[in-house]
Amino acid sequence: MRKDKGLNGDLDRLPMLTWIMFLKFLDDLESQRDTEAALAAQKFRAAVEPPYRWRDWAARPDGVTGDELLSFINQDECTRPDGSRGAGLFAYLRALTSSNGDDRRDVISTVFRGVDNRMKSGYLLRDIVNKVNEIHFTSTQELNTLGAFYESMLREMRDAAGDSGEFYTPRPVVRFMVDVIDPHLGETVLDPACGTGGFLVEAFNHMERQVETVADRRALQQRSLFGYEAKPLPYLLAQMNLLLHGLDSPQIDPGNALRFRLAEIGEKDRFDVVLTNPPFGGEEERGIQSNFPQDRQTAETALLFLQVIMRRLRRSGSAKGISRAAVVVPNGTLFGDGVLCAY
């Protein structure tokens, strides 16, 4: 990647590597589910169809390359690897909709609306695709190795992200917060500024140890973990991070968690647990501030998030216990003057 003239630094290279791995992981997952459905005499409908599956254009080391590969990935219409004319890869993926009850299509579409291919050399891109193709996402050992490698890349992003008031929380801190809050299976967990998904991954791992039945597994996969992330790069990284750790269809909203009027957040919009490290030091626009009561409006992002967190906590708690939150805040936040005094 360092040889390519279109990439400058890790903040360019990481999203490139992520979307490539995302497609390989998705294809491995779908191949496995197709086999399982066939053994059970059931019909399987893939989220990605030919000729856009990884196995159709990327799996052969001597497959499409150079300008032809760049055209297939980047252009709205192109000659596809099977020789037919049609939409390019990204154009196809961005147009996917959930037409068969499979939320993965919506996830894929949302992910690729925020992704661009910045590599200028189709030959270097083919080299990367060939390397990623050697990873077997159905192998537990390789998944564990890749997960450790991936988290090391996320840690390297901290310094670059800190300039914008966003800090990627060290994993030991995340794990400590999750252990103290102790989310139970059957509870709902929210991270309103989930970044690369660290809190949700740890909450998933914590709750997975409580799974005993198929119903438990379904509840954990479908009704337990939720997040918001407005920036395309962290959103993509969160999706990949959660998929790698075993969450099949991450429920991450690609919007600003502050965009809702505070007074209109009702009981159905509340959660049992909130775990987050919201951005601080930044300033929100007037349109966002107007979603808050007049006497609690401020430009300070952290204070707005704290108001949303308090509003998002379920009033009655769950059958397992009271609602609760663990939040990273700037030094002095809880003891300063200002909007929090209203609470």
Instruction: Name the β-bridge partners of 228.
Output: 253
CA dist 10 and 29 (Å) reads 27
The per-residue pLDDT for 57 is 96
Say how far apart CA 58 and CA 21 lie, in whole Å.
11
Separation CA 55–CA 49 (nearest Å): 10
pLDDT at 8: 87
In whole angstroms, what is the distance from residue 111 CA to residue 236 CA?
A: 6
Residue 124's Cβ-side half-sphere holds a number of Cα atoms within 13 Å equal to 15
User: How would DSSP label each residue in 232-286?
Assistant: HHHHHHHHHHHHHTT-SS-EEESS-TT-S-GGG--GGG-BSEEEE----S-B--H
Give pLDDT, residue 173. Answer: 92
Q: How large is the greatest C-alpha to C-alpha distance in the chain, in angstroms?
A: 66
Q: What is the pLDDT along the chain (343 residues), one digit of tens a residue?
A: 999 999 988 778 888 888 998 899 889 888 988 998 899 999 888 889 999 999 999 999 999 999 999 999 999 999 999 999 999 999 999 999 876 556 778 888 888 988 899 999 999 999 999 999 998 877 767 766 666 676 676 666 655 555 444 566 788 899 999 999 999 999 999 999 998 888 999 999 999 999 999 999 999 999 999 999 998 878 888 887 888 788 877 899 999 999 999 999 998 999 999 999 998 776 778 888 899 988 888 878 888 999 999 999 998 755 556 899 999 988 777 766 555 544 4
- Go through the domains of the chain in sequence order and give each one's CATH number: 10-135 (1.20.1260.30), 159-342 (3.40.50.150)
Query: What is the reported pTM?
Result: 0.79
Among candidate residues 258, 262, 255, the one with its CA nearest the CA of residue 229: 255
